[in-house]
């Protein structure tokens, strides 16, 4: 009699556990379906683009002199350097905007093993402008011939001039916000065409931020681009 009751209780216990597992499985499946229903999303990109003018210019001017006498070489370097500095100041630049590299002296006989060189010594100097007067630098190349007219062969290679935009942190927040708004417009268009309602943002990420020259001929005009990736819920 005792064994029979024990058997029946085991049966009912197993039955209740089975029913509980079935009910639990049903509830879990319903929960998963609801979560999946909420996970309807659309992923879009938003772009913000602007053209800005560089606010810093770095302009190197280089000259080379030659002589067989090192003392005469240094005199020529001093003369050329003074002429270039006067030229820059006449063009409206100050001492604080000008830096001068130490002269690079080459002994052509020793370095190039060329005892037939016309001049034994050559000296090269680079004088560099670092200035916010971008407009003046843009036009400086047109005025450089004034030095050539005085017999001073100072040069600037066009693509050695560097133009920078340093106010990025000022406009970056505004551009990111603009990119997000453009992403939202694209998402709303998608929601409309799919007969859905646009919900809240699920996630957002800044894709990339780039600064490039607008074109090779106007490197002082910069193109700034911001791209964001945004995921919205759909209802």
Q: Are 200 and 233 in contact (CB under 8 A)?
A: yes
So where are the chain's domains? 1-33, 40-55+165-235, 56-164
pTM for the whole thing?
A: 0.74
Helix residue spans in the chain (DSSP H): 2-38, 70-90, 108-111, 134-143, 145-149, 168-193
What is the average pLDDT across 156-184? 89
State yes or no: pLDDT of 29 exceeds 50: no
Which is more confident, 11 or 92? 92
Res 16 pLDDT > 70: no
CA–CA gap between residue 118 and residue 108 (Å, rounded): 9
Whether 11 shows a pLDDT value over 60: the answer reads no
Q: Rank 96-100, 148-152, 203-207 by mean pLDDT and report only the highest.
A: 96-100
* pLDDT tens profile 106-127: 888 877 666 677 888 999 999 9
Token pair 């759909």 in the structure block, residue = 234
What pLDDT shows up at residue 10? 57
Nearest Cα neighbor of 24 from 32, 36, 13 is: 32
How is domain 56-164 classified at the CATH fold level?
Answer: Alpha-Beta Plaits (3.30.70)
The fourth-level CATH superfamily of domain 40-55+165-235 is Protein of unknown function (DUF541), domain 1 (3.30.110.170)
């Amino acid at each position: 009699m005792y064994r029979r009751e024990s058997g029946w209780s085991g049966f009912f216990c197993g039955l209740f556990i089975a029913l509980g597992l079935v009910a639990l499985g049903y509830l879990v499946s319903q929960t998963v379906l609801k979560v999946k229903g909420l996970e309807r999303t659309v992923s879009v990109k938003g772009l913000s683009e602007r053209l800005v003018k560089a606010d810093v210019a770095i302009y190197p001017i280089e000259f080379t002199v030659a002589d067989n006498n090192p003392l005469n070489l240094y005199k020529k370097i001093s003369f050329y350097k003074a002429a270039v500095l006067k030229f820059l100041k006449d063009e409206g630049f100050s001492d604080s905007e000008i830096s001068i590299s130490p002269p690079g002296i080459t002994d052509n006989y020793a370095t190039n093993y060329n005892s037939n060189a016309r001049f034994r010594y050559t000296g090269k100097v680079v004088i560099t402008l670092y200035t916010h007067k971008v407009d003046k630098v843009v036009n400086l190349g047109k005025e450089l011939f004034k030095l050539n007219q005085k017999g001073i062969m100072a040069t600037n290679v066009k693509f050695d001039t560097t133009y920078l935009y340093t106010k990025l942190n000022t406009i970056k927040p505004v551009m990111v916000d603009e990119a997000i708004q453009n992403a939202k417009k694209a998402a709303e268009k998608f929601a409309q065409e799919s007969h859905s309602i646009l919900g809240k943002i699920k996630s957002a990420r800044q894709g990339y931020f780039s600064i490039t020259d607008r074109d090779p001929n106007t490197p002082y005009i910069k193109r700034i681009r911001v791209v964001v990736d945004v995921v919205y819920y759909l209802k």
